[in-house]
Chains A and B, each alone.
Chain A
Amino acid sequence: MMKVVFERPKSMFPVPTHYCPGCGHGIVHRLLAEVIDEFGIRERVVGVAPVGCAVLIYNYINCDMYEAAHGRAPAIATGCKRVHPDLILFTYQGDGDLASIGTAEIIHAANRGENITVLFLNNAVYGMTGGQMAPTTILGQRTTTSPLGRSPKREGYPIRIAEMLATLEGATYIARVAVHNPRAIIAAKKALKKAFEVQINGLGFSLVEFLSPCPTGWGMSSTEAPKWVEEKMIPSFPLGEFKVPKSEKSVK
């Protein structure tokens, strides 16, 4: 008998994705599906899709889902979770969605300690609409709406969501990871698993921020983009756990 050493997660539909070559969404989707499979919770999971490139996540992840308006996913997840506390709720949101138009919703969902898990994909740019400046665009980064490069005097500073949310008493687990190389991806999966574990154990709000390449939005090749994550993004957005359940020590 042959031994299975690699297979598609059962929580993923067997279809190709619409994402550009080198995009991080596909990786994060797969990690999500693997974690759902490993906990055996697919039939209890409800997801909330964002507006942006990942709106079509429901074409790839096989679980009950909502499609939210831009930024509103945490409020929708709140409504569902309050009706069915036994369901496992996740939202999947980009940086424009979560860190700009949906800032109020994410802060207050975290502050209420909503027992939900947020996957926050930070690629420093509005991907779907064509590469405009995001709240997380780093200083000096050129986008279609910051053509001279982001300047603090003109456009202000990139916003560090993980650090900000970690100050809230209602947040239980907050981590920032990256998906630009295999070692980082393994660490990212560990963090995501921890985040779901927090929810499954009823401990409260959990969020994992994924630094993710967007070669198309950045005007780079799919081999240059991961290097840019390592050299430019990580210095602006340090990786690590910013908040962990009280019984644990954080790993920075």
Chain B
Amino acid sequence: MGEKVLITGNEAIGEAAIRAGCRFFFGYPITPQNKIPEYLSYRLPQVGGCFIQAESEIAAIYMVFGAAGAGARVLTSSSGPGISLKQEGISYISAAELPCVIVNVMRAGPGLGGILPSQSDYFQATKGGGHGDYHLLVLAPSTVQETVNLVMDAFDLADKYRNPVIVLADGYIGQMMEPVEFKGRPPKELSAKDWTVTGAKNRPRNLIKSLYLDPEELEQHNLKLHRKYLEMAKNDVRVETYLTDDAEIIIAAYGTVARIAKTAIKILREKGIKVGMVRPITVFPFPYETFTEISEKVDDILVVEMSLGQMIEDVKLGVCGRANVHFYGRVGGMVPTYDEIVREIEKIKRSQV
């Protein structure tokens, strides 16, 4: 068993990547994730790795493309505006089926927006983000410990599917300190990377590309990618359900907001209102089935986000009209408080009577 260390989320992301075997980081400074590159700029050389501060977010994501294609475990991190710049490369990486991990420590947008926490990049992360028909596997942690675990898992999942994985954190998770244990785990059994470009020695040459001029061939490639996303949905959906068994009202929240919702649920239960929570951990693939099941049992679901309503669209797809879906959101770097969530639930409760 490892011992617990007090560490910020951003530094924990860096250390978790190293523990997962990542030796390459390419990135560009942007608040509120700067501690990730700063940490890795001294830690990676200590373990024989390589850190480059790239000239741009665009260059950084293509350095990731190069390193991933060469067979390495590789990480980049950024925040909203920087992730927007990376989208071209993320599309190419997805098309070329290269495994890599991308961390988005979300800040408030649009545009330059602000530097405080937000969940405004949910659509960007879960619905593609760049051009073309593709998806990323998206993990949304709600504590620093969970961030560590998910960053480690992210590298395995990226290799398993040969697909980029996004860890969708926010400014709170990045900057707060929590006690964390870096648990040692047996390495996952993964198939050999026989597709990498490492010099065509004693084998036919390998080619990493995304151009398919023949439409039939490109359609087949698109369908192959699509089958991967279906496999993710079949095998790798993660969701936490919290006090849902006897709940009359359900809160749907992820990341930092889910922590706040847990406090609200405690207060509400003390007041005699039975509230539970569904917390998606993978937001792509999304736990639609959990919401389908829960909508058979309750009449009201309150979605709480640090956005003006992004995840709510997926919740509605899962609920499919079987329950009322309410929404409460704060934006711009404002964070919903547990009092506000209590008030929203009480409003719903009153309307039920």
A interface residues with partner B (beta carbon < 8 Å): 42-46, 48-49, 55, 58, 62-69, 72, 75-84, 87, 104-105, 107-108, 112
Contacts and interface: CB of A to CB of B under 8 A. Distances in A.
A78 B66 contact: yes
Contact of B69 (A42, A76, A104, A112): A76
Contacts of B311: none
Given A66-B207, A69-B62, A80-B67, 11 more contacts: A43-B200, A62-B205, A63-B199, A66-B66, A72-B58, A76-B69, A78-B52, A82-B66, A83-B70, A83-B71, A108-B55
Interface residues of B, number: 39
Interface stretch (B161-169, B208-216, B344-352): B208-216
A152 B89 CA distance: 34
A152 to B, nearest CB: 28
Nearest to A45: B199
29 contacts: A43-B199, A43-B202, A46-B197, A49-B209, A63-B199, A63-B205, A64-B197, A64-B205, A66-B209, A67-B209, A69-B88, A72-B58, A72-B59, A75-B65, A76-B63, A78-B63, A79-B24, A79-B26, A79-B62, A79-B63, A79-B67, A79-B74, A80-B66, A82-B66, A83-B50, A84-B198, A107-B55, A108-B59, A112-B52
B92 A79 contact: no
A49 B209 CA distance: 9
Contact of B211 (A42, A48, A67, A79): A67
A135 B139 CA distance: 42
B72 interface: yes
B56 interface: yes
Nearest to A87: B199
Contacts of A55: 211
Given A42-B200, A69-B88, A108-B59, A84 B70 contact: yes
A100 B299 CA distance: 57
A75 B198 contact: no
A152 B200 CA distance: 47
Interface string B180-213: 0000000000000000011111100111111100
B100 to A, nearest CB: 10
Nearest to A111: B55
A44 B200 CA distance: 7
A72 B50 CA distance: 20
A105 B55 contact: yes
Nearest to B64: A79
Nearest to B208: A66
A251 B74 CA distance: 42
Contacts of B58: 72, 75, 104-105
